[in-house]
Amino acid sequence: MWYKPGLRKGACLLVCIWSERGIERQMHCSAVLSKMALTQVSSNKCAGGYQKVYEHESVELQCKMKFAVYLPPKAETDKCPVFYWLSGLTCTEQNFITKAGAQQAAADNGIIIVAPDTSPRGCGIEGEDESWDFGTGAGFYVDATEEPWKNNYRMYSYVTEELPKLINSNFAADPDRMSISGHSMGGHGALVCTLRNPGRYKTVSAFAPICNPIGCPWGQKAFAGYLGADKSTWEAYDATVLAASYDGPKLDILIDQGGDDQFLSSSQLLPDHLIAACSAKKIPVVFRRQPGYDHSYFFIYSFMSDHIKHHAKYLNA
Partner 1 sequence: MWSYVGHIEWTSYRFRPAGSPPLGMDPLGSRGVLGVIEECFSAEEQEEADEGITVTRNQLQEKVVEMENFAGHLEEIFLTVEENFGRQEQHLEQHYNEVLQTLSQRYDQRAARLDLDKKSRLEVLYGQLLGCGRTMDSSKELIEAAQGVYRSQDRRLFLKAVMPTIQRIEEFAKEEMDLTLSTALEINTTEDDLSDVKTMMDSISVVPAPSAPVINPQMANSATQTSLRVRWNLFSDDTVEFYELFYRPVLEDLPADNTHGTDVCKVKVKETHCRVTDLLPNAQYELWVMATNTTGISPASEKALYMTVPSPPAIKERGCSSCPEAALIRWDSGNNNPVDSYTVEITEMDTHGAQCGAAEAIVAVPSCQCLIQLQQDRRYMVTVRAVNIGGPSEKSHPLGVSTTGTLFHLLEDTAHPCLSISEDGFTMFYGDEELPLSALAFDDNNFARCVAVLGDLLPVRGQHYWEVAVDDYTEFRVGVAYEDTNRNAYLGATNTSWCMRHILTPTRHKYEFLHDGWSPDLRITVNPMRIGVALDYDGGTLSFYNVELEQHLYTFHCCFQSYVHPCFALDNPGGLTVHNGVEAPGYTRN
Q: Does 64 bind partner 1 (CB under 8 A)?
A: no
| Residues 172-231 within binding reach of partner 1 (CB under 8 A) | none
Q: Is 284 in the site for partner 1 (CB under 8 A)?
A: yes
Q: Distances in Å between the alpha carbon of 265 and those of 90, 91, 260, 292? A: 20, 22, 8, 13
- Is 184 a catalytic site residue? yes
Give yes or no for residue 278 binding partner 1 (CB under 8 A).
yes
In the complex with partner 1, which residue's Cβ is closer, 23 or 317? Answer: 317
Give the residue, chosen from 285, 296, 302, 305, that forms a contact with partner 1 under the rule CB under 8 A: 285
Residue 286 binds partner 1 (CB under 8 A):
yes
Distance CA 106, CA 72 (A): 7
Three-state DSSP at 302 gives: helix
Q: How far is the CB of 177 from partner 1 (least distance, A)?
A: 16
Question: Which entry of 188, 256, 261, 307 is annotated as an active-site residue?
Answer: 261
Q: What is the DSSP string of 28-40?
A: HHHHHHHHH--EE
Indicate whether 8 belongs to the interface with partner 1 (CB under 8 A).
no
Using CB under 8 A, which of 66, 183, 202, 310 touches partner 1?
310
The answer to whether residue 279 forms part of the interface with partner 1 (CB under 8 A) is yes
**Binding-site residue total for partner 1 (CB under 8 A)?**
19
Quote the distance between the C-alpha of residue 111 and its chain's center: 16
Closest by CA position to 71, among listed 1, 152, 133: 1
Question: In 3D, which of 1, 175, 178 has the Cα closest to residue 77?
Answer: 1
Helix (H) or strand (E) holding 52: strand 49-58
Smallest gap from residue 30 Cβ to partner 1 (A):
48
Closest CB to partner 1 among residues 42, 279: 279
CB of 254 to partner 1, least distance (A): 8
Q: Is 289 in the site for partner 1 (CB under 8 A)?
A: yes
Q: How far apart (Å, rounded) are the C-alpha atoms in residues 106 and 80?
A: 10
Give the burial string for 102-127 (b: 16+ CB within 10 Å, else e): bbbbbbbbbbbbbbbbbbbbebebee
> Would residue 261 show up in a list of annotated catalytic residues for this protein?
yes
Q: Is 275 in the site for partner 1 (CB under 8 A)?
A: yes
Q: Pick the catalytic residue from 87, 119, 181, 184.
A: 184
Q: What is the rounded CA–CA span in Å between residue 244 and residue 179? A: 21
Per CB under 8 A, residues contacting partner 1 are: 250, 252, 259, 275, 278-279, 282-291, 310, 313, 317
- Which of the residues are catalytic? 184, 261, 295
